Amino acid sequence: MEQENVQCLIIGSGPAGYTAAIYASRANLSPVLYEGLQPGGQLTTTTDIENFPGYPEGTTGQQLMDDLRAQALRFGADIRAGVATAADLSGTPYRITVDDGHELLTRTLIIATGATAKYLGLEDETKYAGMGVSACATCDGFFYRKKTVAVVGGGDTACEEATYLAGLAAKVYLLVRKPFLRASKIMQERVMNNPKITVLFEHNATGLYGEDGVEGVHVVKRLGQADETRYDIPIDGFFLAIGHKPNSELFRPWLQTDETGYIITEPGTPRTNLPGVYAAGDVADPHYRQAITAAASGCKAALEAERFLKQ
């Protein structure tokens, strides 16, 4: 296997990875960045971005990521297509194997592998991707002002997204598969007391319909029970809020993670439990999950790597 020594290896090409690459290359760390399975990350699956500072007219997710990539390239970042397939962080230098046949030996490692929103697995979620199906209310809620939307899920995220959407939309249905919410009490109360939100317990979405975008959702009430009923609810937007999966599998043997798999970092920093290993962006952030917060943590990770290498 071909081996290569680097000072700073970045895995992942969302806002965290590219921002880390911009800072690390400007600090002459000659960073190598592997883009992973989805070059540009989750933002490339959304449409318009209107809340990233510096774009008064808004931009698209793809354009934002193209711009960040171009900015990293301008300062000499070595950006490569490839997916990390194995990691050995048992000693230094840290070893990462990539699917292009490389093994990289690195003194500093920035993990910016992101998280993946969970979907129900319906064919219609793919069919209507970017046409009414979203897994991020903060990103896409604005496009549903005065419209009707459905949110799927019964946890804190679902309640938070439903409440956020209720501030914009005319009507929000919360589709909960169980007869109760799993969310914290305060979030439950917020949802139950919001006149714009109707909580439909024991409801599962089975499909979507519409000509040029989502016009409604097929639901089943009390699935598998004697009184099971199927009906349609007209909606304009369908939001998934059934959890995210942080992409941390490769690193879990060596890094502290929470029960879901989010990498635990020292509060306010991207430092993990291993010196020279940093986690930036959604892989370490179950709470904010914004492009701008991911970019900020990528910046911090590169500054940490620079200081570490100077020691």
Task: Output the smallest distance, CB 236 to ligand NDP, in A.
Answer: 20
Could you say which of 160, 282, 285, 304 contacts ligand NDP (CB under 6 A)?
160
DSSP 209: E
Q: How many CB atoms lie within 10 A of CB 167?
A: 12
Position 157 contacts ligand NDP (CB under 6 A) = yes
Is residue 258 within 8 Å of 284, Cβ to Cβ? no
Q: Residues 87, 112, 107, CA angle at the centre, nearest 5°?
A: 50
Nearer to ligand NDP, 102 or 177 (CB): 177
Long-range contacts of 259-264 (CB under 8 A, 24+ apart): 260/286, 262/115, 262/286, 263/111
Tokens 């069919």 belong to 127
Position 207 contacts ligand NDP (CB under 6 A) = no
Could you say which of 16, 98, 158, 250 contacts ligand NDP (CB under 6 A)?
158
Tokens 């804190």 belong to 156
User: Under rule CB under 6 A, how many of the chain's residues touch ligand NDP?
Assistant: 15
Residues 81-140 that bind ligand NDP (CB under 6 A): 120
Residues 249-278 that bind ligand NDP (CB under 6 A): none
Nearer to ligand NDP, 93 or 154 (CB): 154
Distances (CA, A) of 263 to 36, 259, 281, 303: 18, 10, 10, 19
Position 248 contacts ligand NDP (CB under 6 A) = no
Q: Is 86 exposed, middle or buried (0-12, 13-18, 19+ CB in 10 A)?
A: exposed
The two structure tokens encoding residue 226 = 């004697």
Could you say which of 137, 172, 242, 295 contacts ligand NDP (CB under 6 A)?
242
In a 3-state reduction of DSSP, which class is residue 157?
Answer: helix
Position 222 contacts ligand NDP (CB under 6 A) = no
Catalytic residues: 136, 139-140
Is residue 111 within 8 Å of 217, Cβ to Cβ? no
Could you say which of 140, 156, 285, 304 contacts ligand NDP (CB under 6 A)?
156
Task: Output the smallest distance, CB 5 to ligand NDP, in A.
Answer: 39
Nearest-CA neighbor of 10 among 111, 81, 115, 93? 111
Nearer to ligand NDP, 124 or 160 (CB): 160
Outline where the chain has alpha helix (H).
15-26, 61-74, 123-127, 137-140, 156-166, 185-192, 291-310
Region binding ligand NDP by CB under 6 A among candidate stretches 77-85, 175-183, 209-217, 227-235: 175-183
Task: Output the smallest distance, CB 238 to ligand NDP, in A.
Answer: 12
Could you say which of 102, 147, 182, 218 contacts ligand NDP (CB under 6 A)?
182
Task: Output the smallest distance, CB 244 to ligand NDP, in A.
Answer: 6
Nearer to ligand NDP, 89 or 187 (CB): 187
Q: Which residues of the chain form contacts with ligand NDP (CB under 6 A)?
A: 120, 152-158, 160, 177-178, 182, 242-243, 286
